Amino acid sequence: MFESFADLTAFQLLGLDPHSRLGAAVQFFLMDVTKIFALLVVVIYAMGLLRAMLSPERVREFVRGRPDWQARGMAVTLGAVTPFCSCSSVPLFIGFVEAGIPLGVTFSFLIASPMINEVAAVILVGVLGWELAALYVAAGLVVAWIGGIAMQTFRPERWVEDYVWKIRMGQVAKVESDNSLRARHRYAVAEVREIVGRIWKWVLLGIGVGALFHGFVPASWVADHLGGGAWYTVPGAVLLGVPLYANATGIIPVAEAMLAKGVAVGTTLALMMSVAALSLPEMLILRKVIRWQALALFAAVLAVAFTLVGWGFNLIV
Amino acid sequence: MKNIKVLGSGCRNCEITANAIAQAAREAGAEIELEKVTDIAEIMSFGVMSTPGVVVNGEVVHSGGIPGPDLVRGWVCD
Task: Quick: pLDDT tens for A57-116.
Answer: 888 888 888 888 899 998 898 888 776 666 677 888 888 888 889 999 999 998 888 888
Contact check, Cβ <8 Å, B46/A163: no
- Residue A86: closest CA among chain B residues belongs to which residue? B11
**CB of A272 within 8 A of CB of A136?**
yes
Q: Which of A32-41, A42-51, A71-80, A123-132 has the lowest mean pLDDT?
A: A42-51
In chain A, where does DSSP find H-type helix? 2-7, 21-50, 56-63, 68-81, 89-98, 103-115, 118-128, 130-153, 162-166, 181-216, 219-222, 233-241, 252-260, 265-277, 280-286, 292-316
Mean pLDDT score of chain B, rounded to an integer? 86
| The dihedral sign for the CA sequence A299, A237, A133, A44 | positive
A153 — pLDDT class (breaks 50, 70, 90)? very high
Structural domains of chain B in order of their starting residue, each with its CATH number = 2-76 (3.40.30.10)
pLDDT digits (tens, 9 = 90+) for B40-53: 888 888 888 887 88
Q: Are strands B32-37 and B2-7 parallel, antiparallel or unpaired?
A: parallel
pTM (two decimals): 0.82
Cα–Cα distance measured from residue A121 to residue A115, given in angstroms and rounded to the nearest whole number: 10
* Mutation site, A90, A92, A284, A289, interface B, largest B CB count within 10 A: A90
- Using CB atoms, pick whichever of A84, A166, A190 lies closest to residue B68: A190
Contact check, Cβ <8 Å, A186/B43: no
pLDDT digits (tens, 9 = 90+) for A249-266: 888 899 999 988 888 889
pLDDT computed for residue A86 by the predictor: 64
pLDDT digits (tens, 9 = 90+) for A264-316: 889 999 998 898 888 777 788 888 899 999 999 999 999 999 999 999 888 88
| A158–B contact, CB cutoff 8 A | no
Q: Is the ipTM, as predicted for this complex, more than 0.85? A: no
pLDDT computed for residue A214 by the predictor: 87
| A134–B contact, CB cutoff 8 A | no
Instruction: Look at chain A and count its residues.
Output: 317
pLDDT computed for residue A159 by the predictor: 92
Query: Which of A27, A18, A6 minimizes the C-alpha distance to A210?
Result: A27
pLDDT digits (tens, 9 = 90+) for A20-36: 888 888 888 988 888 89
Average pLDDT over residues A111-140: 87
